Amino acid sequence: MRRACITGGAGFIGSNLADRLTADGVEVVVVDDFRSGRREFVADLLKQTGATLIEGDVASDAVLDHALAGCDTVFHLQANADVRFGFDHPRRDIEQNIATTSAVLEAMRRNGVERIVFASTGSVYGEPAIHPTPESCPFPVQTSLYASSKVAAEGLISTYAHAFNITGVVLRFVSILGERYTHGHVFDFYRALKRDPTRLRVLGDGRQEKSYLYIGDCVEGILAALGATPAGTFDVFNLGTDETLVVDDSVRLICERLDVTPEIEHAGGVRGWPGDSPLILLDCTKLRAHGWSPRLGIEESVLRTLDWFERNQAVVLDEAVAR
Amino acid sequence: MRRACITGGAGFIGSNLADRLTADGVEVVVVDDFRSGRREFVADLLKQTGATLIEGDVASDAVLDHALAGCDTVFHLQANADVRFGFDHPRRDIEQNIATTSAVLEAMRRNGVERIVFASTGSVYGEPAIHPTPESCPFPVQTSLYASSKVAAEGLISTYAHAFNITGVVLRFVSILGERYTHGHVFDFYRALKRDPTRLRVLGDGRQEKSYLYIGDCVEGILAALGATPAGTFDVFNLGTDETLVVDDSVRLICERLDVTPEIEHAGGVRGWPGDSPLILLDCTKLRAHGWSPRLGIEESVLRTLDWFERNQAVVLDEAVAR
């Protein structure tokens, strides 16, 4: 890899990936419109030689042509990540997740970019019959517009890989935690407890089992999956740990770290919201067979995240941070 | 069913379905923008009591609200069906197949419509490992934008069915033949031979195996699948015959029927075009278990189609007919 474009490169995963690639000597072009990306996350990066920022919307062909010129690889991470309130704006996932992926693929054709790595999600499996869930598990039933839009984008990438001999790598992530994490329920709980440490409302029954992966392990997994995919082929890899953590246990970790003892109120029901999955646990044997494995367990990932929250109150408590 | 809306209701499948429902006493609202639908196909229908035409684009919320008012069921058949030249207009499948399905689903919510039946395609399976291919076969690799967009639309319908307890029925069709068929290679061969009966160019090596279903059997299959799906659930059914016909054999049938002996030139390769599938054969056991089975075999379907061509030269040879 000589020069890579990262869409959503000022976001949580994108900026961590950008740091890693730059440290490795890769020229990095960050594209971000700062709807949910943060300038703080790329401030140090942009002091490095070979790192560039293009501020703009990846829906724009001009922005994409500018960003992709000379690149051999694009990491397409930009997305609407609002899983929970998808039905409040039912066209947003189509526009921001499907149409933009199409725009990136067309820009790759125009600019001769040979490889795309795409951030998909373990929620494409809906509520699968098999746990841990392997990549080959059928997923006939979608439970969120977000996951539907990721399924659609995966299909587009597969189509282009097949038609134009580009390399397409899809990663189905569990929830990612760690430095710069600013979206999801560990974040929501932390903010709520900072506002009011005496009580906390937890959606669902608190027994939903979630799987998490530390951002450092995620970035290494992305690169391992890319390395494991032969040129001109398409492949899909799960990326997660072999553990789960129930929601109530992450609440406990946060309360201990903050030294608070709130009254916990459970909203009830096995799902936090319509489309929430009561159990996400991915089978990551496939990528592990290529030498990757996560270094951090879930509890340590949560604790590192909380440490980062404590050191970055200005970001974490900023009301403008994307939910 | 009391009142049903059929998007693409002046098209091949839509107009046949509209005739069948009207004969059954169902009020039918046909929505069509006549981009590929034909006024001839609904002229008789619209003389019946209870049949209405709304001329307009299903991308328009106003058109949809008008069409869906008072309906209990929507058959969403409108689509861009240009499989072969998808990459010439890469956004068309997203706009016409994905975004319009989203628009229909939102209009269902606004208007309290409880059931949607969706025309998908056997090409969602890409080049599957299993033949005949059952509904549960994973389909990790997409080979056309058309199929990708159908996968995406299936996911949206599944999401809405899950979230709002609507009934969602997806039918994955093989190619459909019969009266009013005006799109596909039997049609292309017939027109080419009418123009020049001395020679015919066949894409691929002529050995691609295709599966076809007669339109009458298709319409009955749609209704059987709807009847087999409990209220408030989502299900997927393949719809085809247990036979295949190689492309060269359909050429032979057409030549015999037209009494011509052209020189056949094969373009070569196992695929007619990038994304063409060398073998489509669906396992339709699931719908057969609900009492449906096709009455006509493939050869008889081709012959009936050719008879209809002969009786409808004005339509078939009209250069404006959608390809």
Mean pLDDT of B124-148: 88
User: Which residues face B176 on adjacent strands?
Assistant: B213
Mutate to test the interface with B, among A159, A160, A235, A273 (most CBs of B within 10 A): A159
What span, in angstroms and rounded, lies between the C-alpha atoms of B192 and A195? 73
Residue A115 lies in a domain: yes
- Within 248-267 of B, beta carbons closer than 8 Å to A belong to none
Identify whether residues B70 and B106 lie together within a single domain.
yes
* Structure confidence at residue A323 (pLDDT): 47
**Is A104 within 8 Å of A74 (Cβ atoms)?**
yes
Is residue A56 located within the same domain as residue A160?
A: yes
| A77 located within any domain | yes
Q: Please give the pLDDT value at position A271.
A: 76
In a domain, B145, yes or no: yes
Q: Once rounded to an integer, what is the mean pLDDT over residues A97-124?
A: 96
- Is residue A50 domain-shared with residue A134, that is, in the same domain? yes
Judged on CB neighbours under 10 Å (0-12, 13-18, 19+), B28 is: buried
Same domain, A69 and A155: yes
Is the pLDDT score of A29 beyond 60? yes
For residue A115, the domain's CATH number is 3.40.50.720
What pLDDT shows up at residue B187?
93
If you measure CA to CA, which chain A residue comes closest to B152?
A152
Greater pLDDT, B153 or A91 = B153
Q: What is the predicted pLDDT for the residue at A321?
A: 64
Q: Does residue A322 lie within any of the structural domains?
A: no
Helices A100-111 and A61-68, axial angle in degrees (round to 10): 50
Of A133, A305, A163, nearest to A234 (Cα)? A163
Q: What is the pTM assigned to this prediction?
A: 0.90
Query: Is the same domain home to A117 and A227?
Result: yes
Task: Spell out the residues 6+ positions from residue B75 whose beta carbon is closer than 8 angstroms to its own.
Answer: B4, B5, B6, B7, B9, B14, B17, B116, B117, B119, B222
Residue A315 to residue A98: CA distance in whole angstroms: 29
pLDDT tens for each residue of B212-268: 999 999 999 999 999 999 999 999 999 999 999 999 999 999 999 999 999 999 988
Sole residue written with tokens 């501020």: A55
- Once rounded to an integer, what is the mean pLDDT over residues A34-53? 96
Would you list the DSSP string of A153-201? HHHHHHHHHHHH--EEEEEEE-EEESTT--SSHHHHHHHHHHH-TTEEE
In the three-class reduction of DSSP (H, G, I as helix; E, B as strand; rest coil), residue B193 is classed as helix
Task: Give the span between the Cα atoms of B109 and B64, in whole angstroms.
Answer: 11
CA torsion angle A64 A68 A74 A75 (round to 10): -50
Confidence of residue A272 (pLDDT cuts 50, 70, 90): confident
Task: Choose between B273 and B232: higher pLDDT.
Answer: B232
Determine the Cα–Cα distance for residues A298 and A269; give it in Å rounded to an integer. 24
**pLDDT of amino acid A185:** 86
The predicted-structure confidence for A201-237, as pLDDT tens digits, reads as follows 998 888 888 899 999 999 999 999 999 999 999 999 9
Which of B87, B135, B148 should be substituted to probe chain A, the one whose Cβ sees the most A Cβ atoms within 10 Å?
B148
Do residue B159 and residue A91 have CB atoms under 8 angstroms apart? no
What is the residue whose two structure tokens read 């990757």? A292
In this structure, what CATH number is given to the domain that contains residue A268?
3.90.25.10
Say yes or no: A22 and A123 in one domain: yes
Number of domains in chain B: 2
Identify whether the C-beta of residue A16 lies closer than 8 Å to the C-beta of residue A178. yes
Let me know if residue A321 belongs to a domain: no
| Mean pLDDT, residues B74-100 taken together | 87
- Residue B72 lies inside a defined structural domain of this protein: yes
Residue A140 lies in a domain: yes
The per-residue DSSP string of B204-225 comes to BTS--EE-EEEHHHHHHHHHHH
Distance CA A262, CA B37 (A): 63
Mean pLDDT of B52-67: 96
Cβ–Cβ under 8 Å, residues A183 and A36? yes
Q: What is the pLDDT of residue B274?
A: 67
Range of the domain at A76: 3-176+213-239
Is the Cβ pair B236, A274 closer than 8 Å? no
Record: contact B149-A145, CB cut-off 8 A? no
Angle CA B236–A272–A280, to nearest 5: 60
Please identify which residue in the block is written with the tokens 């189905």: A172
Query: Min CA distance, B265 vs chain A (Å)?
Result: 24
Q: Is residue B75 scored above 60 in pLDDT?
A: yes
Checking if the pLDDT of B204 tops 90, the result is no
Query: Beta B209-210 vs B245-246: how paired, if at all?
Result: antiparallel
Kindly state whether residues A45 and A193 are assigned to the same domain: no
Q: Is residue B21 part of a domain?
A: yes
- Of the pLDDT bands very low, low, confident and very high (cuts 50, 70, 90), residue A174 is very high
ipTM for the complex?
0.84
